[in-house]
Amino acid sequence: MKKYLNINNPIMRGLSRVTDCLFLSVLWLVFSLPVLTIGASSTALYTTVYRYIRRGEGYLWRTFWEAFKESFKRATGCWIIVLTALVLLFFDSLVFRNMLKQGKPLGNLYWVILGFMAIVCGWAQYLFAYCSRFEGGALESVRLSFLLMAAHPLKALFVLIFVVLAIAAILIVPFLVFLLPAFVNWLSSIHIEQVFLKHMNQEDRERTLREEEESRPVK
């Protein structure tokens, strides 16, 4: 019985991580309610997933709150750009959906627009991860995050699949919004961090790898 109650037991670690994901997803949801703060909230979400859940650094609430405050201005600027793109694509989708219902050939562009919306959502995951991990202005973050995503299409595809499946799952089972945001960031960070590592200078890469090695749980 003692081995199952041991906090280092894989089962206990798994249960602990599920609880962390629940609490972190609720935090993200609450801080995203004003809509304008979704960028800062998403950046704080990724930061907490990377530092606290993946590497065991600090405390969940403190890590989230400090990241939210520090990234607010920059991440909000990035979010306004993402939101503008999504709103424009959404209204375009309404137009082409109506044409599709009328049987017009151009109505098939509705599916193309949906594809672009999915790509923007996947790119947003890269964008807020970039805001979390690196410094720079909003426009620079937008440009470099897009280039990183485009430079590694296979990794981007995995992230896109995670995001799209999570959105679909939440639409079908709304209660999953209390779990999936943190969990999807966790899965996405595995691929995104591999991309980031490839573009770091040698010193930063070695330091990051060393810190990740040190943060692995003792078996």
Domain ranges of the chain: 2-78+121-215
Which residues have C-beta within 8 Å of that of residue 49, sequence separation ≥ 6?
A: 24, 182, 185, 186, 189
- Per-residue pLDDT of 166-200, as tens digits, reads 999 999 999 999 999 999 999 999 999 999 999 88
- Per-residue pLDDT of 128-161, as tens digits, reads 999 999 998 999 999 999 999 999 999 999 999 9
Report yes or no: 49 and 182 within 8 Å, Cβ to Cβ: yes
- Per-residue pLDDT of 56-89, as tens digits, reads 888 999 999 999 999 999 999 999 999 999 999 9
Report yes or no: 196 and 207 within 8 Å, Cβ to Cβ: no
Percent of the chain at pLDDT exceeding 70: 90
Report yes or no: 163 and 126 within 8 Å, Cβ to Cβ: no
Strands (E) across the chain are located at none
Q: Quick count: other Cβ atoms within 10 Å of Cβ 121? A: 17
